[in-house]
Chain A
Amino acid sequence: MEILKWGMLAFLVLPVPFILGMIPVKYMDKAQKTPAMTYLCGCFLSFAVFEVTAVPFILLEKSFTALVIAYTAIIVVLFVYALSCAKGTVAAYIEQIKAFRAETLHIKAGWAAAIIVIGMQMAYAVMFEYYDGDDAYYIAMAVLTDTFDTMYLRDAYSGYLRPLDARHALSPTPVYQAWLSRLSGIAPAAVAHTMLAAAWLLLMYCVISQICAKLFDRDKRKYRPVFMIFIALWFAFGNISLYTAETFAMTRTWQGKGLMAGTVIPALFLCFLNLAEEKVDKGSFMLLVCVVLSAVFATSVSFMIIPTAVGLAAVFIGIKKREIKTPALMLASCVPCILLGGIYLVMR
Chain B
Amino acid sequence: MLKTIEKICEDVILYNGKSITLLIFLAALIFLWFFEKNKCVRTALIYLSIAELIIFACPIYAWIGMKIDEAIYYRVFWALPVGILVCYALVLFVSHFDTFGKKAVVAVMAVLLIGLNGRLVYTNSLHFRSSNAYHIPAQVIELADALKLDNYKPIAVLPAELLPFFRQYSADVFTPYGRNMIEPQWNFKSELYDAMEGNPQEYDAAKVAECARNENCAYVVLSSAKQIKGSMEEQNYFLLNFVQGYFIYMDCNYYEIYKERNLLDADVIERKEAVSAQPQA
Tell me the smallest distance from the CB of A160 to a CB of chain B, in Å: 6
> In residues 133-158 of chain B, which contact A (Cβ within 8 Å)?
133-136, 153
> In residues 191-212 of chain B, which contact A (Cβ within 8 Å)?
none
Instruction: Please tell me if A11 contacts chain B, counting CB pairs below 8 Å.
Output: no
A158–B216 Cα distance when bound, in Å, is 13
Tell me the smallest distance from the CB of B107 to a CB of chain A, in Å: 6
Q: Mark A221-235, 1 if CB is under 8 A from B, else 0.
A: 001001101110111
A316 and B44 contacting across the interface, CB-CB below 8 Å: yes
Instruction: Please tell me if B117 contacts chain A, counting CB pairs below 8 Å.
Output: yes
Instruction: Please tell me if B121 contacts chain A, counting CB pairs below 8 Å.
Output: yes
Do A304 and B68 contact each other (CB < 8 Å), given the known contacts A238-B83, A240-B16, A272-B48? yes
Do A246 and B83 contact each other (CB < 8 Å), given the known contacts A261-B78, A312-B55, A316-B47? yes
Report chain B residues within 8 Å CB of A96: none
Contact of B121 among A135, A247, A257, A260 (CB under 8 A): A247
Instruction: Please tell me if B75 contacts chain A, counting CB pairs below 8 Å.
Output: yes
Report chain B residues within 8 Å CB of A112: none
Across the two chains, which residue of chain B brings its CB closest to A260? B78
A159 and B171 contacting across the interface, CB-CB below 8 Å: yes
Tell me the number of A-to-B contacts counted with CB atoms below 8 Å.
256
Report chain A residues within 8 Å CB of B118: 234, 236-240
> In residues 63-110 of chain B, which contact A (Cβ within 8 Å)?
65, 68-69, 72, 74-79, 81-84, 86-88, 90-91, 94-95, 107, 110
B177 and A157 contacting across the interface, CB-CB below 8 Å: yes
Contact of A277 among B17, B40, B90, B181 (CB under 8 A): B40
Q: Mark B159-173, 1 if CB is under 8 A from A, else 0.
A: 000011101111111
B95 and A276 contacting across the interface, CB-CB below 8 Å: no
Report chain B residues within 8 Å CB of A215: 41, 88
A236–B121 Cα distance when bound, in Å, is 6
Do A223 and B84 contact each other (CB < 8 Å), given the known contacts A157-B175, A237-B121, A316-B48? no
Report chain A residues within 8 Å CB of B165: 136
Tell me the smallest distance from the CB of B40 to a CB of chain A, in Å: 4
A133–B78 Cα distance when bound, in Å, is 21
Across the two chains, which residue of chain B brings its CB closest to A135? B168
A208–B85 Cα distance when bound, in Å, is 12
Across the two chains, which residue of chain B brings its CB closest to A211? B84
Contact of A140 among B111, B128, B135, B178 (CB under 8 A): B178
Tell me the smallest distance from the CB of B176 to a CB of chain A, in Å: 6
A316 and B72 contacting across the interface, CB-CB below 8 Å: no
A237 and B79 contacting across the interface, CB-CB below 8 Å: no
Instruction: Please tell me if A265 contacts chain B, counting CB pairs below 8 Å.
Output: yes
Report chain B residues within 8 Å CB of A273: 40-41, 44-45
Q: Which residues of B contact A (CB under 8 A)?
A: 11, 14-19, 21, 39-41, 43-45, 47-48, 51-52, 55, 61, 65, 68-69, 72, 74-79, 81-84, 86-88, 90-91, 94-95, 107, 110-111, 114-115, 117-122, 124, 126-130, 133-136, 153, 163-165, 167-181, 183
28 contacts between A and B (CB under 8 A): A127-B130, A129-B129, A133-B164, A157-B178, A190-B133, A193-B133, A214-B41, A226-B91, A227-B91, A229-B111, A235-B83, A236-B121, A237-B117, A238-B83, A238-B118, A240-B19, A241-B17, A242-B14, A245-B77, A247-B121, A261-B75, A266-B84, A268-B79, A269-B81, A273-B41, A304-B65, A312-B55, A316-B47
Q: Which residues of A contact B (CB under 8 A)?
A: 124, 127-133, 135-137, 139-140, 143-144, 146-148, 156-160, 186-190, 193-194, 208, 211, 214-216, 220, 223, 226-227, 229-231, 233-248, 250-251, 257, 260-261, 265-266, 268-269, 272-273, 275-277, 299, 301, 303-305, 308-309, 312-313, 316-317, 319-320, 345
20 further interface pairs, Cβ-Cβ under 8 Å (given A159-B175, A248-B78, A275-B44): A129-B128, A129-B135, A130-B128, A132-B126, A133-B183, A136-B167, A140-B168, A193-B130, A214-B41, A215-B41, A226-B91, A235-B83, A236-B120, A240-B18, A273-B45, A308-B55, A308-B61, A312-B52, A312-B55, A317-B43
